[in-house]
Amino acid sequence: MTRIYLLALLALSLALPLSCGAAEEIGTVANVDNVTIGAGRGYWDASVGVFVWTDKFWLRNMQLRGTVDLAPGLRAHASIRSNHAQYNINDVAPMIDEGYLEQTASWQLGEGTLRTQARVGAMRYLRFPFPDDFAVFDQVPGIADLGDGATTTTGYHGELLTLDYTLGDYNAHVVGYNRNFVDESGGDISEATISTAQSIGSTRLSLRGGMIPIRTEPLGHSAAGVDVLVGVPVGSAMVGLLYENSVNRPTYTGISVTFPLNDKKQAAGQYAFDYARTPQGFGFNLPLADGEIGDVHNSIPANATLVGEISAVRVRTYWQNSQVRNEYEHRLSTWGKTGKEYYVLMDEQPWQLSVEALVSPHTDINSTQGLRDWEHDRQGPAELRRMVVYRFYEVK
């Protein structure tokens, strides 16, 4: 895909939803991706990372994050980090972990739904419209860009376009990436797949084929391949077993555990607890402060009538060195009247540890050495989720 073609698609994706106008009722041509909590409204938070072991105590990865709506389907997001250091915050030299403009839109197309997303800027998270069964194994951009003298770039810097079409149990998903903020190598297809998921009793079978994401950095490339994922309930959790084969790439196997919400997982999610191997220790991400942007509220006024809602989930992912460097709010559903002209309350639930996933370029797990090799080379994405509901009121 040439850069001109990708930029043309990006411009089309940005232009189409704006021409639709604001839609307040779900079920119209534009639905959840074209509503807004109101221009100038959003949220922010600040946190700091802590890393401890018998010989270590580091404060690091101090971040200020914020997301604000600009228009129906149009948002701005930023995550600013205190400095480039991996292990301390002795100096203040801010860098941008994430900073982008995003436009989303969706349409009913035949019996299915077409959803589009266009983003411009620095990004560290690709899932849209929401994490599917395979996405929980996705490589999370690492930390090679941190440290004294680091010159490597991680993440996605440029323009991204996602097209997602769902029809019944089938999904077609395409991601185009133009990395012109980093180099002159042009655009690439990061993913182009068709997938399906079927339930067989209590077992869930998911299949995916096409151009699947390559798991090694630099990210943003793909290779022809197939994925098979079997999910089985174990107690109150869901365990997933992954097999992935692609052209000229190692065969990967993986295991994931999706947790239900409970008090222990709330604590792990609230503080982003993680065990790291390199260097060895325990990582935490401690909240410092948070708040609303614009006229977003956390209490219901007198004489208020509920007229609409937007349900959402915020997601953070991390794996390497236990550092949280991204956040994204998925808008999931909406009903009734929404927008700037209504009083809005933001109801935030606790963060929870949602998924732990391990994936490794090995298939031999029948021997001690095979298990050691699998563990040595594995990637371990983790996912935190926070449910949010925006409630809209008419106040008399």
Question: What is d(CA 234, CA 236) in angstroms, rounded to the nearest whole number?
Answer: 6
DSSP class of 379: B
Q: Which token pair is 204?
A: 């869930």
| Per-residue pLDDT reduced to its tens digit, 66-117 | 999 999 999 999 999 999 998 889 888 999 999 999 999 998 888 999 999 9
Give the predicted TM-score (pTM) of the model: 0.89
What pLDDT was estimated at residue 266?
A: 66
Nearest to 346 by CA among 394, 286, 296: 296
* Percentage of the chain modeled with pLDDT above 90: 68
| Per-residue pLDDT reduced to its tens digit, 195-249 | 999 999 999 999 999 999 999 988 999 999 999 999 999 998 999 999 999 999 9
Q: Which token pair is 100?
A: 């982008």
Q: Element (H or E) spanning 221, and its range?
A: none
Question: What is d(CA 178, CA 199) in angstroms, rounded to the nearest whole number?
Answer: 37
What pLDDT was estimated at residue 8?
A: 42
* Per-residue pLDDT band at 168 (split at 50, 70, 90): very high
Question: What is d(CA 235, CA 233) in angstroms, rounded to the nearest whole number?
Answer: 6
By three-state DSSP, how is residue 52 classified?
Answer: strand
| Per-residue pLDDT reduced to its tens digit, 127-158 | 999 888 899 999 999 889 998 878 888 999 99
Q: Does the structure show a pLDDT above 70 at 29?
A: no
What pLDDT was estimated at residue 274?
A: 86
Query: Radius of gyration of the chain from Cα atoms?
Result: 21
Q: Which token pair is 396?
A: 């008399």
Q: Does the structure show a pLDDT above 80 at 27?
A: no
Tally of CB atoms within 10 A around 222: 19
Question: What is d(CA 208, CA 134) in angstroms, rounded to the nearest whole number?
Answer: 8
| Per-residue pLDDT reduced to its tens digit, 318-335 | 877 788 999 999 999 999
What pLDDT was estimated at residue 337?
A: 93
Q: Does the structure show a pLDDT above 90 at 366?
A: no
Average pLDDT over residues 298-312: 93
* Per-residue pLDDT band at 265 (split at 50, 70, 90): low
What pLDDT was estimated at residue 260?
A: 82
What pLDDT was estimated at residue 113?
A: 93
Average pLDDT over residues 283-307: 94
Average pLDDT over residues 345-359: 93
Q: Does the structure show a pLDDT above 50 at 6?
A: no
CB 296 within 8 A of CB 43: yes
Question: What is d(CA 92, CA 34) in angstroms, rounded to the nearest whole number?
Answer: 38
So where are the chain's domains? 3-395
Give 265 or 13, the one with higher predicted confidence: 265
Of 15-19, 20-24, 286-290, 301-305, the least confident: 20-24
Dihedral Cα 210, 121, 386, 95, nearest 10 deg:
130
Average pLDDT over residues 273-280: 83
DSSP per-residue string spanning 124-186: S----SS--TTGGGPPPP-STT-STT-----SEEEEEEEEEEEETTEEEEEEEEE-TTT-S--
* Per-residue pLDDT band at 28 (split at 50, 70, 90): very low
Question: What is d(CA 296, CA 243) in angstroms, rounded to the nearest whole number?
Answer: 45
| Per-residue pLDDT reduced to its tens digit, 46-63 | 999 999 999 999 999 999
Give 16 or 300, the one with higher predicted confidence: 300
Average pLDDT over residues 12-37: 51
CB 383 within 8 A of CB 131: yes
- How many angstroms from the chain centroid is the CA of residue 227? 20
Q: Does the structure show a pLDDT above 50 at 12?
A: no
Q: Does the structure show a pLDDT above 80 at 17?
A: no
| CB neighbour list of residue 348: distance below 8 Å, 6 or more residues apart | 386, 387, 388
Q: What are phi and psi of 136, to 5 degrees?
A: -65, -15
Of 6-20, 67-81, 165-179, the least confident: 6-20
Angle at Cα 384 formed by Cα 381 and Cα 385, nearest 5°? 140
Nearest to 179 by CA among 103, 249, 95, 123: 123
